Every structure is written in C-alpha cells, then in structure tokens.
Amino acid sequence: MQKNDIIELKIEDMGVDGEGIGKYDGMTFFVKDAVLGDEIEARITKMKKNYGYARVEQILSPSKFRVTPQCELHRRCGGCQIQALDYEKQLEFKQNKVRGNLIRIGGFAPELIDRIMLPVVGMKEPYRYRNKAQFPIGADKDGNPVAGFYAARTHSIIPVNDCKLGVEENQIILNEVLSYMKECHVASYDENTGKGLVRHVLIRYGFSTKELMVCVIINGNSLPKVEKLIDRLTAIEGMKSISINQNTKKTNVILGDVTKCIWGDPYITDMIHLRDTKDFSLTDTAVAYHISPQSFYQVNPVQTEKLYSLALDYAGLTGKETVWDVYCGIGTISLFLAQKAGKVYGVEIVPQAIEDAKNNAALNGINNAEFFVGKAEEVLPREYEKNGVYADVIVVDPPRKGCDEVLLNTILKMKPERVVYVSCDSATLARDLKVLCAADYELVRVSTTDMFPQGVHVETVVLLSKVK
Ligand code: SAH
C-alpha cells in the first residue's frame, strides 16, 4: 500500500479529533470527515509503519448517523469537525471519550465510572450558541471587501457572513461594516503585504440582555469617516458598544494592545443564571458581568450556566464554607460560589482578568470574594505555608494542560473536604485525578457538558471527596 492508492473502508470507530477510523488489510486508517458507520472509498494520503491517513473519495454507503450539516462550508472551514454526525451520536462520542480517558489514563474501574457518571448534558438547539465571533476581513479577486475565512494553504478568503454557530445578528453587522468599507473606500488588510486597514470584526452578544458589541480591528489608529460606520451600526437594535482596536503588527494574533471606544459603553453586560441541576430550569439567582472586547468569557452561555450550576451543586455549600477557586479567570465561578459560601478566594495568572473579577464582584455587591494574581502553583502553596490559609472546598478549572503537580500536592496538604474539578480536557483530568485518588480522595461524581456542539471538545465536572 502506498500514497494515492484507493481502498475501501468501513468506518468502525472515531478518533479524539472526530476523524473516522477504519481497517484495511490489518492496517488502521484515519479519515477526516468520514462518519462512524460510513462505507467509503478512500485515497491514501500518507503511510506510516503501522497506520495511515486517507481522505474520502466517495461514500459508497452512508452511515445511518450521517446528517446534512447546516453549513455547506464545514469541511473547508475546519471549525466544526463533526457537523455531519447526528447530534445524539456526537453526545455519545463525547461521553465515551471522557469515560475512556478516566479508565485508561486515570486507572479507574469501568464499574465505578458507570455507576457514578451522569448522562451527558447536551443542548436542545445545537447551533447558533456562540456569543462571540471574530471574522477576518479580506478582499475577493475583484478587490471588494469580504468577511470569511482563509482557504487552507492560501491567502484567498472564502466569503462566509453567516457561521451557523454564531447569532444571526453577525450577518447584519458584517453587511453594514462591508457596505461602509465600500462606500468610504476603506481597504481590507492584506496579510502578505501588511497594507490595508480593516483586519477583523469582533462581535459579542449578551444572550440574556440582547446587548451587542462591535470591535473593528485595524492596521492603523483611525477609520476614515467613522461617523458613517457608527450611523450604520447604531441603527441595529441592541447595539451598546462600538470600539476600534489597533493592531499594526504582522501577526496572526487578532487583538492589538490598544482599544478605543468610539460609541456607547466600552463593555456590554450579560447575566449568568444559576440553574436547578434537576432539570436545568432557570432560578432567580444570577450574576451580572461587564464584558469588554478583550475579556475572556465563556462562548456558550446556555451550557456555561448548566456546567457552573453543577460545579456549585458539587461544592455542597451551606453558607459558612471557605472556598478557593483556582484558575478563576474573570471570576465567573467564584462569584457564583460567593453567594452560597462564607468566603471565596480566586487565583488567576492574567492581571486584567482579576481586574474584571473585582469589578464584577462590585457590580453584584459581592464582598466576600478576594482575588490573587499569580500562578496557582505559586500562590496557593505560599498562602498555605506562610499565611496558613484553609479551604473547605477547592474548585479548579485549569487550561487544557491540567493542574501543575505542585498545586495538586498543595491540595493534598490542605485537605479540603471536597475538590470540584472542572476540565476542558479529559485526558489531563484523568491524569490529575489519578494523583489525587492515589492519596486521600475518592471519585464521587462525574458529569459531562457539551459546550461545543459540532466540535470535538467536551467539558467535564467531577466531585472528589476526602476519604475519612
Ligand atoms: N473559571 C474561569 C475560566 C478558567 S480558564 C471562568 O469561568 O471564566 C483557565 C484559566 O486559567 C485562564 O483564565 C488562564 O488565564 C488561567 N491560567 C493558566 N495558567 C495558570 C496558572 N499557572 N495559574 C493560574 N491561572 C492560570
């Protein structure tokens, strides 16, 4: 077998990145865009010693789990890896991924996992859930401004004003920005030459307040006839904040350092409601957040409410506890916890996020939350060893690489009654749980929430309890 050979494959499994997996002549092949259950003709694109990669040439018999994706461009865009897979099956794939990692990497018994793992929490409407979109602006072959994404290995933009994960307002806003650019002869930025002005349009939408924010990222410090752009955008219902961000560097980092508000407030407000974890119905408890163009904010607000409500539920607070929220970001979880705890401490490495966390605490009249800037693996050991801080409950929500070992050891020394681990990568979660459960903790509950329908990532929240 060699590159370009055509083979027939039955797709019998799915890899962690959503690719289809089939066997031919004892060899395993990974096939992008093939769906579990498909029978396909595939062209080999790369051979390794014991496995290979192939691409779909023709679908001989489509899987019964194959559905028509809402976005025609999903294969070329690459943002949604499993849009062609039935949503129920997507959820099953994610649940199995977490279960598999806990067993394989974490070393937990399958019977234990099956007993304590709750059904995956999916979405009723698994499209149009994102509250944030960032569209690159470029030019079509006639030089007209377009919004879209770069086709693989080229610098030509494939126009797409309407990503099906984003809100419908995105399209309206992009059309106004592009019309303004045409009317006022404002050039799109060109990655190759570094010339031109408009690089990206960032849009944020508050799902519960219906407030809209637009930030235009430019290669310069001002837009010509900017009042024409403002007139167009302010005619859109819900517009609350318009700003310009300056990014004159040759980089693929989207935002530059300087943001100027040119109309309205420099932020929008959104609310995150606590949900009843029995049926995820909304409760009266909510926390308000100010979100600026640069702020980190979870992109799927509906699922964030469910995930954080589970985390709060697992924390088991009665009003008296001292809680540490480690890797706290802008304090989303901390401020939720603060309503039910005696005292909450948050730790986060990004200073601006801690500024946001403090402002959001004040905005909600929360005065039992205190925040530290620094590395979790430095702040927590220092506060514990020097100042003797204490925790009834520790919540961690680390980035994909998981918790630092020093942090895990500090948790073991501090001996909180409960540890709630919120994770965006179940492989590192499993690795860290193995450390905690080899010592004084036992795994009590596991729950997965689908924050990214059509993509392959999944969030997990786990409760660990101190063994008496
Ligand atoms: N709980 C937050 C999101 C957490 S995402 C929320 O609800 O909004 C993970 C966070 O960990 C990010 O904000 C990132 O900046 C922070 N981080 C990454 N490495 C860190 C470290 N070593 N110490 C502390 N925070 C860190």
Per-residue pLDDT tens digits for 325-351? 999 999 999 999 999 999 999 999 999
DSSP-H helix ranges across 19-168: 74-77, 87-104, 110-116
- The region of weakest confidence among 73-77, 204-208, 242-246 is 73-77
| Catalytic residue check, 77 | no
Res. 24: pLDDT tops 90: yes
Ligand 1 atom nearest 308 alpha carbon? 7
Q: Which residues have C-beta within 8 Å of that of residue 65, sequence separation ≥ 6?
A: 35, 36, 37, 85, 86, 89
Q: Does ligand 1 lie within 6 Å of residue 328's CB atom?
A: yes
What is residue 77's predicted lDDT score, i.e. its pLDDT? 79
What pLDDT, in 10s, does the model give residues 70-120?
998 888 877 888 999 999 999 999 999 999 999 999 999 999 999 999 999
Give the residue-averaged pLDDT of 375-386: 97
Structure confidence at residue 408 as a pLDDT band (50, 70, 90): very high
Q: Which of 160-164, 301-305, 379-383 has the lowest mean pLDDT?
A: 160-164
- Break the chain down into helix, strand, coil percent, rounded to 5: 25, 35, 40
Looking at every residue in the chain, the average pLDDT score rounds to 95
pLDDT for position 43: 97
Residue with tokens 């040439």: 57
pLDDT of 228 higher than 80 = yes
Ligand 1 atom with the shortest distance to the CA of 422 = 1
Helices 426-438 and 87-104, axial angle in degrees (round to 10): 40
Is pLDDT at 134 greater than 90 in this prediction? yes
The answer to whether residue 317 scores a pLDDT higher than 90 is yes
**Burial state string for 411-439 with b = 16 or more CB within 10 A and e = fewer than 16:** bbebebebbbbbbbbbbbbbbbbebbbee
Contact 252, 268 (CB under 8 A): no
Q: For the residues 27-52, what does the mean pLDDT come to?
A: 95
Q: Is the CB of 348 inside a 6 Å radius of any atom of ligand 1? A: yes
On the question of pLDDT at 143 being above 90, the answer is: no
CA atoms within 13 A on the CB side of 272: 28
pLDDT class for 152, splitting at 50, 70, 90? Answer: low
| Probe residue for ligand 1, chosen from 299, 349, 423, 451 as the CB with the greatest number of ligand atoms within 8 Å | 349
Residue 16 alpha carbon to ligand 1 centre in Å: 24
Ligand 1 site-directed mutation target among 305, 327, 422, most atoms within 8 Å of CB: 327
pLDDT at position 385: 94
Q: Is the pLDDT of residue 141 over 90?
A: no
Q: What burial letters (b/e) apply to 355-364, b meaning 16+ CB within 10 Å?
A: ebbbbbbeeb
CA 325–ligand 1 middle distance (angstroms): 10
Q: What is the pLDDT of residue 153?
A: 65
Of the chain, the percentage scoring pLDDT greater than 90 comes to 90
For ligand 1, the distance from its centroid to the CA atom of residue 81, given in whole angstroms, is 25
Average pLDDT, integer, range 115-141: 95
pLDDT at 142: 85
Residue 220 neighbours by CB under 8 Å, 6+ apart = 197, 246, 248
Weakest-pLDDT range from 151-165, 291-305, 368-382: 151-165
Residue 155 has pLDDT above 70, yes or no: no
Tell me the pTM.
Answer: 0.93
pLDDT, mean of residues 186-195: 92
pLDDT, mean of residues 373-401: 97
At 224, the amino acid letter reads P
How many angstroms separate the CA atoms of 229 and 222, rounded?
Answer: 12
State the angle between helix axes of 405-414 and 426-438 in degrees (0 to 180), rounded to the nearest 10. Answer: 40
By DSSP bridging, strand 369-373 and strand 343-348 are: parallel
Give residue 135's pLDDT: 93
Span 245-260, average pLDDT: 94
Q: Is 389 helix (H, G, I), strand (E, B) or coil?
A: coil
User: Structure tokens of 366?
Assistant: 């929360």
Judge contact between 44 and 7, C-beta under 8 A. Answer: yes
| The predicted structure's pLDDT at residue 274 | 94
pLDDT at 160 over 90: no
Vertex 340: Cα angle to 432 and 383 (nearest 5): 50
- Where does the pLDDT of residue 243 fall: very low under 50, low under 70, confident under 90, or very high at 90 and above? very high
Q: Is the minimum distance from the CB of 329 to ligand 1 under 6 angstroms?
A: yes
| pLDDT score of 268 more than 80 | yes
Secondary structure (3-state) at 399? coil
Instruction: Output the DSSP codes for 304-320.
Output: HHHHHHHHHHHHT--S-
